[in-house]
Amino acid sequence: MATWRRYWSPAAGAASPRGPHMNFNPTHYFVEEVVKGVDESDLHRTWIKVVATRNARERSTRLENMCWRIWHLARKKKQACIDLSLSFSFFLVFMLELEGILRISARRKEQEQVRRETSEDLAEDLFEGEKADTVGELAQQDTPMKKKFQRNFSELTVSWSDENKEKKLYIVLISLHGLVRGDNMELGRDSDTGGQVKYVVELARALAMMPGVYRVDLFTRQVSSPEVDWSYGEPTEMLTSGSTDGEGSGESAGAYIVRIPCGPRDKYLRKEALWPYLQEFVDGALAHILNMSKALGEQVSNGKLVLPYVIHGHYADAGDVAALLSGALNVPMVLTGHSLGRNKLEQIMKQGRMSKEEIDSTYKIMRRIEGEELALDAAELVITSTRQEIDEQWGLYDGFDVKLEKVLRARARRGVSCHGRFMPRMVVIPPGMDFSSVVVPEDTSDGDDGKDFEIASPRSLPPIWAEVMRFLTNPHKPMILALSRPDPKKNITTLVKAFGECRPLRELANLILIMGNRDDIDEMSAGNASVLTTVLKLIDKYDLYGSVAFPKHHKQSDVPEIYRLTGKMKGVFINPALVEPFGLTLIEAAAHGLPIVATKNGGPALNNGLLVDPHDQHAIADALLKLVADKNLWQECRKNGLRNIQLYSWPEHCRTYLTRIAGCRIRNPRWLMDTPADAAAEEEEALEDSLMDVQDLSLRLSIDGERGSSMNDAPSSDPQDSVQRIMNKIKRSSPADTDGAKIPAEAAATATSGAMNKYPLLRRRRRLFVIAVDCYGDDGSASKRMLQVIQEVFRAVRSDSQMSRISGFALSTAMPLPETLKLLQLGKIPPTDFDALICGSGSEVYYPGTAQCVDAGGRLRPDQDYLLHINHRWSHDGAKQTIAKLAHDGSGTNVEPDVESCNPHCVSFFIKDPNKVRTIDEMRERMRMRGLRCHLMYCRNATRLQVVPLLASRSQALRYLFVRWGLSVGNMYLIVGEHGDTDHEEMLSGLHKTVIIRGVTEKGSEQLVRSSGSYQREDVVPSESPLIAFTKGDLKADEIMRALKEVTKAASGMDWQRPLCKTAYWFQSRVYTNMEEKEEMTMLSLGVGAASKHSISNRKFRLKEVTDHKFNLGDQDHNSGHVRKKLRLSEEQLTVLENMYEAGSNLDQALKQGLAEKLNIKPRQFEVWFQNRRARTKHKQIEEECKNLKRWLEGLNKENQRLKMELMRNAQKDCIKKGIQQW
């Protein structure tokens, strides 16, 4: 009806569908319908037929005019639609810009409010004379303090090489994504393999050559995919062997690429798909660092661990990994952003090509931003290349404020408390470059352009020159060079538009586009293929054939030749990227004498070119035309670039870098800084605990008290006293005395330290089952379901006697210790059944049954080393006051302090209404803006809000147990429910095995993790993982055991789901094994203490023999020549002998005789038993080595078969291409 109404016109007394004054206009209706429905191709054919008629009389002038009229009206109608569409597009762009302006304005307003609040809080503790200064510093951005800091920096940069030669530093660099190798880098292969890869490799080489640096490890992801070269699957690759002076060279000195497996082993993943697997990378990297720290300690530190001097993350994903590693090892962290997520989001939103949801789906931009925020939380130092990156890019983040950073730094220098507030230090260090391949052409006079090409023969020219010039009609014109991968953010399409629409520029210069390497555009990624397709269309649109060169392939060694060619042609280099904070190509171009046109959004400044807005194509064209046409300006820019380029050399960069990181506060775990007497006492007490993990082979050292100065037992020279002490210690540590006894909870809470082990039993555990099921009622109290889970897990593990002997248990919960003990008492579960209790959402760790965790009154106390470990950047009062302010609104507050759940490292609040609280993302954002770095979580069925230190969490507590007690995360089994606290998803990722019990938790607190528009759960937890298994059916021990076996089998098959090379197999096997096992394999390979060391890993084999009670001491006596009887030993005698064998077999003759008498056996039998025991251990060792060798050979055979088939297929393809019919 609406369509017909348009063709009714008003007429007096005329009837109409809508009223008496409307009249139908058939002509209007006919014209509109014809114009709207006409096909231009049909109209064109009709017109051709009309004008093709030879006889003028037969030609219909009216029909010809009608065709023109209809075509004109159709075109006019289409133009109106186009104008309307453009108007709408401009309106959308305007609205997007307005939205961005309003968002930035609101953010700045909130930042100013936060600054005022922070100023008031901080000014309370200052002296009267200092208050005005500090408040003024918050209000001013440029202060005299800036000059003071600059002067101090200049003083620091002069002395590194002179005063630090004797240091033996271990530095860890992390660059996670892309394809990283030392030689023949495939730069431009994809969007992940670009300038960052080259930068980190050259940085690792350069640092290893500096005096005082012993080893540099560059961590990246191991890729064993058939899509990429085999070299990316090698676990290690040497970059350089050490410093040039020869003093730092050693067995492990130099720079190495270390590839850590994470995620699917047979797939090459783009960086946006790596986020769920970062925790796996952290656990694998942690295992390597601890192994390397031990090895370096033996080489350069007399056996003391050499932890990394600094951990440096590059890009958001590596920054997230570096933050977790830094927290686990308690060492400083450094961050380099390279490209920042918030800035990229702003740039893409400004273009209006994609919505925010589409941007996040494509680039995982929200997870990337959160990774950068987490890295800022942990970083001591942030390295940038320009001041613009600090002010305009990092300034967009919640975790950094330039003004607040200056104030906090000033307070720290004056010795005034910052109440736990912290801002990382931002420093500008120009990027480095390797000038070894740079050949700067001599200054030529005017008119020499192209002279070399006329004189030199084609054979003498570099091949890449011919490849470029074959595209050009006149190759002697000046060249405009752009070198980057075909990524949308590199903005190549805007450059082509600028070149195509500027006719003077087209007539004066050629455009050279080096856009990576490609074979088939259809086989490239969607983003790269789209850019290349658009570039080719633009070349065709502006008819740029003969003026634009875009070769398909080039080598890394061809890049200097491309720069040299552009310089000979008096050309210009341009980098039109939307954001380029680390423009290494600009430095390379300047080193080759090329003036540059660069984006004003970042990049180094050499005064050798012009800066432009990357969105303004007319400004780009004008800048290029100005440099190409004005020879005096070209020469001036060239000279400036060559004169200032030495500031960007790698030695200069590394000197500044090492000076800056020397200012970071060195944080080492307290337990690594014990005195030698304390370490000896710890070693002796560890022997008392288990008699299994002694490093020294001599039993006498652990019982005479010579090395244990803190022991009360005085050394005795009487062999009988020594024998008696040995027997007493063996009886106290005998498993038979503790395994079967069930200590009541009351007795455990009041036990004296004299009846306990001094150090936790975690030191000798091979597996640890961590129960972290969050079963709570509506009031937040633990439900009986949690007790049932604990009991069923105990029953499942203890149903396997072998697993039970080598396994321990830990309970991880958000409840404080009193409530945890009350729960265990309700279920009649002794606390000593657990090796560790992780309470308060990871704020405290207890070791029940351990003397160091029991005070004088018999009460449990937390691990003091762990409390010092997590105390970094923590302020209990600051967190408490800030949370109370943030939770208060006009109608009152929705939280109340939960005093019973609080401890010095945990602030807890009751939640009145979970529907009215802010999400964790929103709370964390506001805390970061105030400079408070902490870990927030809603827990206990959303009835509590708990704030713990940044380094504390339930997942990080497990890594602390790994670092402190040597129990590998890969040998931990995590038992959780389907739902839980807001830290539930953090615990699911990693190398530990996870069993999710269905049906035990109906609801949790996950709905409060993040708000709309944030990253998703899939960006944290992998959707499918062989390390995660689910139970089926009811909560039963049998079902839990089935799930445990399932995840164990799946995890053990991860390394062999495809054939691997020998080195890859050994590396991956070491990642997933216990730290004790790796140490044993090292000792075995060195031939030191093989029998004693390997006895630990063969405990299962020995215990099976113990139950037989029959040991053959030898059928033939070679000395007497007669056959001896088999000696039958009791279980008590075997236990004593086994414990002594584990402790060490080097006993003096007096002790051997005394112990033999105590055991009622002959000294000769005592000696022969030890000899046979060593022989059986050696035999078992050989068996295990043979099995490993056989397994590796089978994998190698499969790999050879696969390579053979692949070679045959490739050869067959080549033969078909060459026309060979027979194969």
- Tens of pLDDT, residues 93-116: 556 566 666 666 666 676 677 666
CATH architecture of 451-646: 3-Layer(aba) Sandwich (3.40)
Q: Show the DSSP H helices in 1145-1162 as ranges.
A: 1149-1159
Using CA atoms, how far residue 689 sits from 693, 729, 735, 962, in Å, is 9, 9, 10, 19
pLDDT at 348: 85
Tell me: pLDDT of 283 over 90: yes
Neighbours of 1056 (CB within 10 A): 16
Give SS3 for 343. helix
Mean pLDDT over 917-945 rounds to 93
Tell me: pLDDT of 856 over 50: yes
Tell me: pLDDT of 869 over 60: yes
Tell me: pLDDT of 1020 over 60: yes
Amino acid 540 reads D
| pLDDT top residue among 1112 and 442 | 442
With cut-offs at 50, 70 and 90, classify the pLDDT of residue 1127.
low
Among 686, 835, 694, smallest CA distance to 758 is for 686
Per-residue pLDDT tens digits for 1178-1190:
787 788 778 778 8
> What is the distance between the alpha carbons of residues 866 and 952, in angstroms, rounded to a whole number?
9
Among 488, 416, 114, 266, smallest CA distance to 1068 is for 266
**% of the chain surpassing 90 pLDDT:** 40
Beta carbons within 8 Å of 1157's beta carbon, 6+ residues apart: none
| Domain ranges for the chain | 169-385, 451-646, 817-1056, 1062-1128+1162-1209
Q: Which residues pair with 514 in a beta bridge?
A: 483
Q: Report whether 874 contacts 667 (CB < 8 A).
A: no
| pLDDT top residue among 609 and 1053 | 609
Using CA atoms, how far residue 641 sits from 221, 565, 606, in Å, is 37, 17, 6
Q: Report whether 112 contacts 104 (CB < 8 A).
A: no
Helix, strand, coil tally for the chain in percent (to 5) = 55, 10, 35
Q: Report whether 982 contacts 1008 (CB < 8 A).
A: yes
Range with lowest mean pLDDT among 35-39, 284-288, 492-496, 524-528 = 35-39
Tell me: pLDDT of 376 over 60: yes
With cut-offs at 50, 70 and 90, classify the pLDDT of residue 287.
very high
Q: Which residues pair with 427 in a beta bridge?
A: 383
pLDDT at 562: 92
Highest mean pLDDT among 554-563, 846-855, 1058-1067: 554-563
> What is the distance between the alpha carbons of residues 216 and 171, in angstroms, rounded to a whole number?
5
Among 464, 545, 485, 465, smallest CA distance to 511 is for 545
Say what the pTM is: 0.70
pLDDT at 726: 62
Give SS3 for 358. helix
pLDDT at 38: 61
Per residue, what are the HEC states of 462-475? CHHHHHHHCCECCC
Residue with tokens 């064109």: 44
Q: Which residues pair with 844 in a beta bridge?
A: 839
**% of the chain surpassing 70 pLDDT:** 68
pLDDT at 480: 95
Per-residue pLDDT tens digits for 779-818:
999 999 999 999 999 999 999 888 888 899 999 999 999 9
Using CA atoms, how far residue 748 sits from 93, 635, 751, 756, in Å, is 69, 84, 5, 10
pLDDT at 500: 93
Q: pLDDT averaged over the chain?
A: 77
Among 407, 438, 319, 519, smallest CA distance to 138 is for 407
Tell me: pLDDT of 148 over 60: no
Instruction: Find out if CATH 3.40.50.700 is the number for domain 169-385.
Output: no
Per-residue pLDDT tens digits for 465-519:
999 999 999 999 999 999 988 888 889 999 999 999 999 999 999 999 999 888 8
DSSP 1171-1204: HHHHHHHHHHHHHHHHHHHHHHHHHHHHHHHHHH
Beta carbons within 8 Å of 564's beta carbon, 6+ residues apart: 439, 441, 462, 592
With cut-offs at 50, 70 and 90, classify the pLDDT of residue 1163.
confident
Encode 304-315: b = buried (16+ Cβ within 10 Å), e = exposed. Answer: bbbbbbbbbbbb
Q: Report whether 42 contacts 54 (CB < 8 A).
A: no
Q: Return the half-sphere exposure (C-beta side, CA atoms, 13 A cut-off) of residue 881.
A: 14
Range with lowest mean pLDDT among 238-252, 475-489, 590-604 = 238-252
Tell me: pLDDT of 712 over 70: no
Among 530, 547, 457, smallest CA distance to 493 is for 530
Q: Report whether 443 contacts 642 (CB < 8 A).
A: no
Using CA atoms, how far residue 267 sits from 311, 529, 905, 925, 1202, in Å, is 27, 21, 42, 35, 17
pLDDT at 541: 92
Tell me: pLDDT of 647 over 60: yes
DSSP 910-943: EES-GGGSPPHHHHHHHHHHTTB-EEEEEETTTT
Per-residue pLDDT tens digits for 1128-1161:
677 667 777 777 766 554 566 677 777 777 777 7
